[in-house]
Structure 1
């Protein structure tokens, strides 16, 4: 790749060189992510099941670690199958690891309940979305530098941009309900799921990340599909990002299913009808031939059999992945090529993901917890936005004052609340609204 140095550049050039530090740029990026407060907070943020419900269930942190391991497995497979192409694309295991570790650090407390709450409260101030917040944390908020966040290399930042356009452009306003007369408790989550993208206020950083692209490539990179009855969705992502996203999907569809099986939330008969049998009807693959036997092991009372089945499923999805020229019109190879599932495996993983969503996430007792988290986040936002200079912590108050000069003070309140863990947000709510017991 001709513009390698452009992709290794950092927004803030560093003058200090540490003696004897022979790490690559991506090793430095991974270290900054791993040692960040934002990454540590993932240990106390909900993945699917509430933090503290059990020591066994996955948190955002353990999910990210699993996604990272899967991402490295994908990279090894692609290097074996496409040695010349992966060499030309500069496929780097440490970079993929860094992307997978950091892909969820922008998610607020209480999962999608917290995201809906913040998007609703920010509806007149640029919106809120977890992926956009991830970009904001690594480029601005995490105090590795004075005002450039973790100051990661440009290619790492490109890999973290799953949706390369702005919420304002992607938002389908017809989806949002009339909010003038609603109390917090009447907000319906389905009407306030955000579009997936970046914040308009972070446009200068996005422009810097995409600076090596031709104007035609950047314009194409930002294209999105028409709204219809949903928010608009961007079409393209970088090669590195596509690997991270596949790893995330496998971890969500397969590993999160394991939690649900152990808890007894899902039943073998439901799984057989909604996942296993439909997969047997998909074109002849290793998975379609073996899914019935794997189902028996998944619901076995012998833990080692379940673990063996989980491992076999993950392996089947990792080993099928290919590299595809998704858009020949791109001049930049990092945008032209993506890692993809063959159609039949894409269809199969969609069945797993849909099953986890319908049978686990939409389960009423999980939704009750999500609703409760949604209320906590909205009440906290209401409190801090009512009198920010009085209630915000010292350092956040200073950032709020500066942001107000750009008419962007509410974004700092959203930054503050979204950075909280589930437990911290709950304790703060109790401090503010419940009498001392």
Structure 2
């Protein structure tokens, strides 16, 4: 079964590869990829923080990778060895864990909100400025696709369309945390808890449809290994965010312990807190190790217990859902982080700085979206005249990689678009979003200062 779900096939193949060797090549490409390196300067909780002990997206992703490996090993110990190539299974899980946040924009999930808000406020006016005719009936669908920026959807776009890593289909599918959305009038026949998420952009829908068909994934259904990546992420960030808050002195350890004691974590929480507080190794090493061990066991046991449903695509829950003691504690950690960390003035002040930077960069570069297609084509051809003196300088700052993806996307007519003009402008908006979302926190701030003359 897994040989079908994780075959050694690529969109661009150069010959047959053994399954394990194909995933090893994926692993080498991913570890060496620039988007992974950029994670070291993207925020986890505290934007623009220079303290080395506080987690960045890279250190968080490495922890998720290790947790995913632990879950995978426990699962494989319970599955018949003949059903799966263990090395390929672990490689795919580890690399999907390492890549799971590469599509996040500067300032993390807060950055997603900032970009989505900016798009909602400016997209219609920019469209009107760039076009001399009313939008087609299809524009409502394209507009909705552009209005919500989602780091999960951007991850697939980044590794395939922008950086052209040519990963195996199994690796690409294992990265897609949320399945493709239904088109109007389409019914998947099953309810999934993640159906409201934006998981695949319109630009990558043909890719996702092709890999789903090749892998035998039913419409709207996750690849089985995505469940493991999701559980590893939940385990890692819920503990780490609170540990970083104490390290950053947003909370004292005693304040955190009191908040956890006051929450409804049950007997399991009480025992965990007592033992962690008394541990000679310190509170967090014991707390993290014990809770992680129990959550890894819970995730693996759930996966094995629901194995057939997960393989068939009929399992609609996360592995850590429910009322198991360790899962309840995980929910408490999320609640305490929301109430005691994310809403603190110190954190919000950092986010406000990121808000100003991200909106400032987007608003300045928006002039490239307001140009009629003929004028933007002049910039592409290196023929910008005096009236484009400012736009030309901004255009020269765009990434060559992103411009290549734009050129390829508009080079031939895409039958999914009813208007060539709207096809061009859709990918021009994607070009700007690709460029800005790929910035690190520090680069976004530096770009804002440069554009503002500060």
Aligned 8 A contact 2:242 2:337 in 1: yes
Checking the alignment, whether the CA contact within 8 Å between 2:358 and 2:444 is kept in structure 1 is yes
Give the TM-score, by structure 2 length: 0.73
Counterpart of 1:249? Answer: 234
Aligned residue for 1:371, secondary structure, equals helix
Q: Which residue of 2 aligns with 1:320?
A: 298
* Cα deviation code 1:190-247 (max 9, x no counterpart): xxxx943221121101101201365xx623xx2xxxxxxxxxxxxx533211111111
CA RMSD of superposed structures (Å):
3.2
The CA deviation at 1:346 is 2.2
Mapped to 1, the partners of 2:254 and 2:6 lie a distance apart of 54
How many aligned positions are there? 375
Task: Specify whether residues 6 and 359 from structure 1 end up closer, same or farther in structure 2 by C-alpha distance, changes over 3 A only.
Answer: closer
Deviation per residue, 1:329-349 (Å, 9 max, x gap): 78x547659872363232221
For the structure 1 residues 10 and 238, does the alpha-carbon distance in structure 2 shift closer, same or farther, using more than 3 Å as the test? same
After TM superposition, the structure 1 = structure 2 runs for residues 322-341 of structure 1, keeping only pairs within 5 Å, are 322=301, 323=303, 332-333=311-312, 340-341=319-320
Number of the residue aligned with 2:388: none
The structural deviation recorded for 1:354 is 1.8
Deviation at 1:88, TM superposition (A): 2.7
Q: 1:154 aligns with which of 157, 166, 169?
A: 169
Counterparts in 2 of 1:84-103, with a 5 A limit?
84=80, 88=83, 90=85, 92-103=89-100
- Answering whether residue 288 of structure 2 is matched by residue 310 of structure 1, we say yes
Gaps of 5+ in 1: 143-148, 170-193, 223-235
Given that 2:27 and 2:91 are in contact with CA atoms closer than 8 Å, whether structure 1 keeps it comes out as: yes
Q: How does 1:23-34 map to 2 (within 5 A)?
A: 24-34=21-31
Give the Cα separation in 2 of the matches to 1:167 and 1:419. Answer: 28
SS, match of residue 227 in structure 2: helix
Higher percent of residues as helix: 2
Q: Which residue of 1 aligns with 2:214?
A: 212
Q: Distance in 2 between matches of 1:280 and 1:357?
A: 16
Cα distance change on mapping 1:364 and 1:44 into 2, 3 Å: same
Deviations 1:353-380 (A, max 9, x none): 2212221122222122112212211221
Q: CA deviation at 1:417?
A: 0.6
Superposition deviation, residue 290 in structure 1:
2.2
**Following the alignment from structure 1 to structure 2, what is the Cα–Cα distance between the partners of residues 339 and 117?**
28
* Aligned residue in 2 for 1:343: 323
CA spacing shift, 1:166–1:379, aligned 2, 3 Å? farther
Match of 1:138 among 136, 146, 159: 159
Question: Using the alignment, how far apart are the partners of 2:73 and 2:307 within structure 1?
Answer: 24
Pick closer, same or farther for the CA change 1:95–1:337 going to 2, 3 Å.
farther
Question: Could you say what secondary structure the match of 1:218 adopts?
Answer: coil
The equivalent residue for 2:200 is: 198
Query: For 2:60 and 2:365, how far apart are their aligned partners in 1?
Result: 31
Please point out which of 76, 79, 91 is paired with 2:76.
Answer: 79
Larger Cα-atom Rg? 2
CA distance in 2, matches of 1:168, 1:122: 22
The match for 1:364 is: 345
Q: Distance in 1 between matches of 2:169 and 2:19?
A: 19
Matched with 2:134 is: none
Q: Which has the higher contact order (CA 8 A, sep 6+)?
A: 2
List aligned pairs for 1:2-151, cutoff 5 A. 4=4, 7-14=7-14, 24-80=21-77, 82-84=78-80, 88=83, 90=85, 92-123=89-120, 124=123, 125=143, 126=146, 127-142=148-163, 149-151=164-166
CA contact (8 A) 2:104 2:155 kept: yes
Q: Work out the CA distance in 1 between the residues paired with 2:319 and 2:98.
A: 20
Change (3 A) 1:308 1:39: same
Partner of 2:213: helix, strand, or coil? coil
1:164 corresponds in structure 2 to 179
Tell me: CA distance 1:350–1:58, structure 2 relative to 1, closer, same or farther (3 Å). same
Q: SS at 1:343's partner residue? A: coil
Instruction: Describe the SS at the equivalent of 2:7.
Output: helix
Pair 1:281–1:312, CA change in 2 (3 A): closer
Q: Counterparts of 1:338-417 in structure 2 under 5 Å?
A: 340-341=319-320, 343-344=323-324, 345-387=326-368, 389=379, 390=392, 391-392=394-395, 393=397, 395=400, 396-397=402-403, 399-400=405-406, 403=409, 406-407=423-424, 408=426, 409-417=428-436
Distance 1:347 1:402 in 2: 48
